Amino acid sequence: MGYICSEETQELLEAVRDFCDNEVREQSKEYDRTGEWPKEIYDKAIEMQLHMLDIPEEYGGLGLDKLSIAAILEEMAKADAGFAVTFSVSNIGLKSVFLAGTEAQKKKFCDTIISGKFTGFALTEPQAGSDAAAGRTMAKKDGDCYVLNGRKCFITNGGVAGIYVVTAMTDKSKGIKGMSAFLVEDGTPGFTYGKHEDKMGIRGSNTCDLVFDDCRIPAENLLGNEGDGFKIAMQTLDVSRAFIGCIAVGIAQRAMEEAIAYGKERIQFGKPVVNNQVIAFKLADMAIQIETARQMVAYACTLIDMGRPYSKESAIAKAYGADVAMKVTIEAVQIFGGYGYSREYPVEKLMRDAKIFQIVEGTNEIQRVVISNHILK
């Protein structure tokens, strides 16, 4: 455990570890095979209040600091990355609401989560991925409503959330200054779910298109002012990216543990394979990378907790953590040899799960845009 946490967090962490060991780790294998949404696992996790870690105490949540949340998410990710992603992404919208929302919006969002629901954050569109400003979803003011038309894609928790933060253009002629952000509730007429992604990894999480067809929402669902949407989205992602790095570290940690356990058992040429320096050094390299990535996540979270600038550090934690997860899981498969390629053993799933972290919440190439913008300005 590489995070230095309070005694209170340690206790919660122990409970989360037990839960993940008993209720998630083995069970997630079948959900990975079928791609089915593991509702019963999530129901139990919600009973444990794991969906409200980030909600401030005054709004009825656990109000944990970001470092504690990272420690807990890593534990979840060691059991199943898709499971951790569901909770991590559910916190993204919360960040937007606490950045720009009114008291009433904050309360509504928190109450929805506390009632046992997840949330979603919808920026990406089919033609607006890395180029987030190219969104075509429109929001037209009509009396005391906005009317939304368009489609969002690759939305984590799409289809299983109770409420979403959705960006849409209120004035396309103004470019990014014409993008706004709204709260949209599940069940709003004109709001439906589209294609459900059949993903390579993190299959215990849900990813779906959101479709808006003359969807009328109350004007009071606008977050901040018209034109604030791009900034809200960027500031939100600045925080959430550190947690993507954190989940990636959890995958890498699990892969290293699996490789060590297997390498001690696997006898070749009359001795355990870990007794070969070439394998021992692979494991040492894993440890170096994992611990470094974890400490970068911890540093970014500490800066967030302290209210100091963290955009660059969060991007580094995300990009580095994801690259480490990819490298470590590939090496873990290598140490397992032919068995590593078999679905019977756990490491091929870890390798499939790892890949998305180099893509999601801004590709690692985009993180390098963010980082270089910071160091060059």
Give the active site residues.
361
Asked whether the beta carbons of 53 and 69 are under 8 A apart, the reply is yes
Taking the complex as a whole, how short is the minimal distance between the CB of residue 19 and ligand CAA, in angstroms? 24
User: Which residue in the shown chain puts its C-beta closest to ligand CAA?
Assistant: 362
CB of 47 to ligand CAA, least distance (A): 24
Sole window of 30-38, 45-53, 149-157, 271-279 interacting with ligand CAA (rule: CB under 6 A): 149-157
Token pair for 148:
């939304």
Of 231 and 352, which has the nearer Cβ to ligand CAA?
231
Tokens representing 132? 């987030």
Q: Say whether residue 361 binds ligand CAA (CB under 6 A).
A: yes
> What minimum distance in Å lies between the beta carbon of 227 and ligand CAA?
10
Site for ligand CAA, residues 84 to 143, rule: CB under 6 A = 89, 92, 121-124, 130, 132-133
The one among 230, 243, 320, 345 contacting ligand CAA by CB under 6 A: 230
Binding pattern for the stretch 32-51 against ligand CAA, x by CB under 6 A and - elsewhere? --------------------
Determine the Cα–Cα distance for residues 52 and 65; give it in Å rounded to an integer: 12
Least CB distance from residue 288 to ligand CAA, whole Å? Answer: 28
Near ligand CAA by CB under 6 A: residue from 86, 88, 105, 156: 156
Q: What type of residue is 328?
A: V
Q: Kindly state the smallest distance separating residue 193's Cβ from ligand CAA, in Å.
A: 13
**Of residues 256-315, those binding ligand CAA (CB under 6 A):** 311
Does position 155 interact with ligand CAA (CB under 6 A)? The reply is yes
Residue type, 16: V
- Three-state secondary structure along the chain? CCCCCCHHHHHHHHHHHHHHHHHHCCHHHHHHHHCCCCHHHHHHHHHCCHHHCCCCHHHCCCCCCHHHHHHHHHHHHHHCHHHHHHHHHHHHHHHHHHHHCCHHHHHHHHHHHHCCCEEEEECCECCECCCHHHCCCEEEEECCEEEEEEEEEEEECCCCEEEEEEEEECCHHHHHHHEEEEEEECCCCCEEEEEECCCCCCCCCCEEEEEEEEEEEEHHHEECCCCCHHHHHHHHHHHHHHHHHHHHHHHHHHHHHHHHHHHHHCEECCEEHHHCHHHHHHHHHHHHHHHHHHHHHHHHHHHHHHCCCCHHHHHHHHHHHHHHHHHHHHHHHHHHHHHHHCCCCCHHHHHHHHHHHHCCCCCHHHHHHHHHHHHHC
Choices 102-110, 152-160, 299-307, 323-331; region in contact with ligand CAA by CB under 6 A: 152-160
Comparing CB distances to ligand CAA, the nearer of 8 and 365 is 365
Q: Should residue 238 be labelled a site residue for ligand CAA when binding is judged by CB under 6 A?
A: yes
For ligand CAA, which stretch binds (CB under 6 A), given 27-35, 216-224, 277-285, 366-374? 366-374
Of the pair 200, 369, the CB lying nearest ligand CAA is at: 369
Q: Report angle CA 123, 124, 128 to the nearest 5 degrees.
A: 120
Stretch that binds ligand CAA, among 2-10, 68-76, 212-220, 228-236 (CB under 6 A): 228-236
Q: Which of 234, 280, 330, 359 binds ligand CAA (CB under 6 A)?
A: 234
Residues in binding contact with ligand CAA, number by CB under 6 A:
25
In the complex, least distance from residue 297 CB atom to ligand CAA, rounded to whole angstroms = 17
Residues forming contacts to ligand CAA in the complex (CB under 6 A) are 89, 92, 121-124, 130, 132-133, 154-156, 176, 230-231, 234-235, 237-238, 311, 361-362, 366, 369-370
